[in-house]
A and B are shown apart, each in its own frame.
Chain A
Amino acid sequence: MAYPQDNLLDPVAIVNFAIDTGIFDFAYSAWGWPIAEIVHFVGLCLLIGTVGVVDLRILGFMRGISLPALHKVVPFGVLGFVLNVASGTVFVASSPDQYLYNPAFQIKMVLIALAGVNMMLFYLTTAGKLKRMRPLAQAPRRARIFAGISLTSWILVIAFGRVITAFRPPAWFWCGWCG
């Protein structure tokens, strides 16, 4: 099957980038792909174990844990996310056509963007108020909505990440931006 013309993203250029940077050789070395997968899953656990736990606390679970103090775990969630982006780049750059036109991957990226925008709005509008609240108090309603969106997005990011291999091109091919 010939792919439609993609004038926005160029899989060949991406693979060339991967080859030039050594990412490609690493990915297809004996243990490259498995190592990237392990890093991806460790990052996932770090992210859920920190950001997910903060979300649960904001939603009203584990109220005994002081929320402002608990917030100190978030940098480890950022570390987890960085691990995910780094290992994810290995996958996508080494095999771009399998991801860019994959429905599950596209939905996963939209969900990550949603989680990102949600987090930005949370820190811009609501996080400051939480720092000033009594440590063991219930978080205000608006914060709970942010936390609910965050947790739901990350749960769905995991689910759609897990089914990427089920929706691989060419059997599946999504390219809304192709000519």
Chain B
Amino acid sequence: MMETIAWFEQTGISRWVREDFFAYFILLIFHAWGMALLVGGGMAIQLRVLGVARQTRLSRWTGLFPWMKLGALLAIVSGLGLLAGYPAKALTNWVFALKFVLLIGAAWLTANIAKVSFDKGVEPVTLVKLQAALALLMWIGAIACGKLLLYTNSMLLTTDVIFEAG
């Protein structure tokens, strides 16, 4: 795998993300916007399921899903760009994998909560609320993992390894 990553690091797109002054920061901005929409929307739905603003009809909160999907799209596209710049940094770090476990888990729980309890016309049962609380923690955990990627990486580029070995 490291050979493939080493090759990819020398491609034009990878070098552009690393070396262009604007590229990396524009990707970071879109990644933050995407996160705000996806995780912010997710947190809002979880709060509603837990009983905040309970006068709003639960079934109508599916109106947030397109915004969360837009956020996911922005985050994924910009995230792939960031990954292209420093593939070894992310792909050799288990925190990166954990981030996606948490994101997929939170999204799956949210979809499941909506499917099971949004159309019932009554407040969700305790089990569903526990799922919402778990999803809320998973969104927060995913943010934590994303930030920790800056501090837990063992290398920035594959050339770091070659340098250390030499």
Q: A residues engaging B (CB < 8 A)?
A: 31, 34, 37-38, 41-42, 44-50, 52-53, 56, 61-66, 68-73, 76, 155, 158-159, 161-163, 166
How far apart sit A141 and B148, CA to CA, in the bound complex (Å)? 43
* B interface SS class: helix
Q: Top 4 A-B pairs ranked by shortest CB distance?
A: A49-B40, A69-B55, A64-B60, A62-B63
Which residues of B are found within 8 Å of A50, using beta-carbon distances?
Answer: 40, 44, 47
Which residues of B are found within 8 Å of A71, using beta-carbon distances?
Answer: 53
| Set B25, B59, B63: member contacting A163, Cβ < 8 A | B25
Query: Whole-angstrom distance from the CB of B162 to the nearest CB of chain A?
Result: 28
Q: With A49-B42, A73-B47 as known contacts, state yes or no: A62 contacts B60, CB within 8 Å.
A: yes
Assess whether B43 is in contact with A46, with CB atoms less than 8 Å apart: yes
Assess whether B53 is in contact with A70, with CB atoms less than 8 Å apart: yes
30 contacts between A and B (CB under 8 A): A34-B148, A34-B150, A34-B151, A38-B147, A41-B146, A45-B40, A45-B43, A46-B40, A50-B47, A61-B67, A62-B60, A62-B64, A64-B57, A64-B59, A65-B61, A69-B53, A69-B55, A70-B53, A70-B56, A72-B52, A72-B53, A72-B55, A73-B53, A158-B32, A158-B33, A159-B33, A162-B25, A162-B28, A163-B25, A166-B21
How far apart sit A31 and B67, CA to CA, in the bound complex (Å)? 33
Q: What's the tally of chain B residues with a CB closer than 8 Å to chain A?
A: 38
Which residues of B are found within 8 Å of A76, using beta-carbon distances?
Answer: 47, 52
Q: Which of B11-19, B107-115, B136-144 binds A?
A: B136-144
Assess whether A53 is in contact with B25, with CB atoms less than 8 Å apart: no
Q: Residue-by-residue, is B48-80 near A (CB-CB < 8 Å gives 1, otherwise 0)?
A: 100011111101110110010000000000000
- Closest residue on chain A to residue B53 by CB atoms: A72
- Determine whether B97 belongs to the interface, using a CB cutoff of 8 Å to chain A: no
Q: With A34-B151, A37-B147, A62-B64 as known contacts, state yes or no: A73 contacts B52, CB within 8 Å.
A: yes
Which residues of A are found within 8 Å of B21, using beta-carbon distances?
Answer: 166
Assess whether A48 is in contact with B36, with CB atoms less than 8 Å apart: yes
Query: Whole-angstrom distance from the CB of A92 to the nearest CB of chain B?
Result: 18
Which residues of A are found within 8 Å of B63, using beta-carbon distances?
Answer: 61-65
Assess whether A34 is in contact with B32, with CB atoms less than 8 Å apart: no
- Determine whether B39 belongs to the interface, using a CB cutoff of 8 Å to chain A: yes
Which residues of B are found within 8 Å of A61, using beta-carbon distances?
Answer: 63, 67
Which residues of A are found within 8 Å of B59, using beta-carbon distances?
Answer: 64
- Determine whether B88 belongs to the interface, using a CB cutoff of 8 Å to chain A: no
How far apart sit A63 and B139, CA to CA, in the bound complex (Å)? 26
